Amino acid sequence: MPVAAPVAAQTPIDESLSKRDARRLDDMDKAIKEMRAIVFKGRDTGKPVVVEMVDTDARLAEFANRLGDLEQSLTKINASLETTSHELDQARRANQALSAQVKTLTDRLAAIEQKQAAAETAAASPPAPVEPPSPAAAQASATEAFGHARQLMLSGDYEGAEGAFRAYVQTYPDAPRTPEARYWWGKTLAVKGGHADAATAYIGAIRGWPQTAWAPDAVVELARELVALKKPADACQTLAEVPKHYPKAPAAVKARAATLAAQAKCG
């Protein structure tokens, strides 16, 4: 029986290959697998198989271009977002300012409505009774008003005196000096040429034939206004009352009465 030659000990191939050779073997193994897949695909389908070479650099360049486009798009989107954010911030501030203005106008309108409501309530409610002034206060006010009107007349301000005496007569119709105020009121009206109003004022002054120093002159002045109003008969009748009610009238008043009687052709 022949003796078999001793088998030399086998050393693993991987241990004797360098790392570079190992990578090459892996690449070859992958290529063989891809070729098998292509062959089997052509056998199964019966169609020619087109083997496309993989261009890694071209793909990388294409990916780089796409990435650049994406970066540009993102840059534009970010710029648009910043612009939109700025516009939204401005709109928010404008809205806050508008809200403040609306609140101010609303408050003003509410205040006006409150005032109007208060005025309507006050108008609807009956006025509070006004307490009449005390007799002493009324007398003091009347005296001051009469003195003021008389001072205006003495200073030559007949326009102001006419208004002051008219106000006195209207405000104090029952005051003790109201007849005298009517007498002076007639004087101011006569100066302005208001003969009818002056005659009315004199009539109010001498009603009841008061025994005062100014009364005889008031009667003569009434006759004068009647003559100016072309009422001689009424003037003569008025002058006839002077010696009856005022026999002690001053000589100057009697002389003026005689002159008016002649002017009116009294019998």
Per-residue pLDDT for 13 more than 70? no
- pLDDT surpassing 70 at residue 214: yes
Average confidence (pLDDT) over 232-246: 94
Report pLDDT for 149. 95
Regarding pTM above 0.75, the answer is no
**Terminal-residue alpha carbon distance, the chain:** 209
DSSP state for residue 125 in the 8-state scheme? S
Task: Label residues 141-152 b or e (16+ Cβ within 10 Å = b).
Answer: ebeebbeebbeb
The predicted structure's pLDDT at residue 68 = 78
Residue 55 DSSP label: -
Other beta carbons less than 10 A from residue 167's beta carbon: 15
Mean pLDDT confidence for 204-210: 95
Could you tell me the pLDDT band of residue 12, with boundaries at 50, 70 and 90? Answer: low
pLDDT over 90 (residue 201): yes
Q: Say what percent of the chain tops pLDDT 70.
A: 67
Task: Quote helix, strand, coil % in the chain, to nearest 5.
Answer: 75, 0, 25
The Cα 42–Cα 36 span in angstroms is: 10
Q: What are the structure tokens assigned to 252, written together?
A: 């100057």
Q: What is the mean pLDDT of residues 79-84?
A: 79
Cβ neighbors of 246 (< 8 A, separation 6 or more) are 215, 216, 219, 253
Residue 222: CB partners within 8 Å, gap ≥ 6? 186, 199, 202, 203, 206, 238
pLDDT averaged over every residue in the chain: 79
Is the pLDDT higher at 221 or at 32? 221
pLDDT at 260: 94
What does the pLDDT read at residue 57?
A: 64
Q: What is the pLDDT of residue 8?
A: 44
Confidence band (pLDDT; 50, 70, 90) for 23? Answer: confident
The residue with greater pLDDT, 193 or 91, is 193
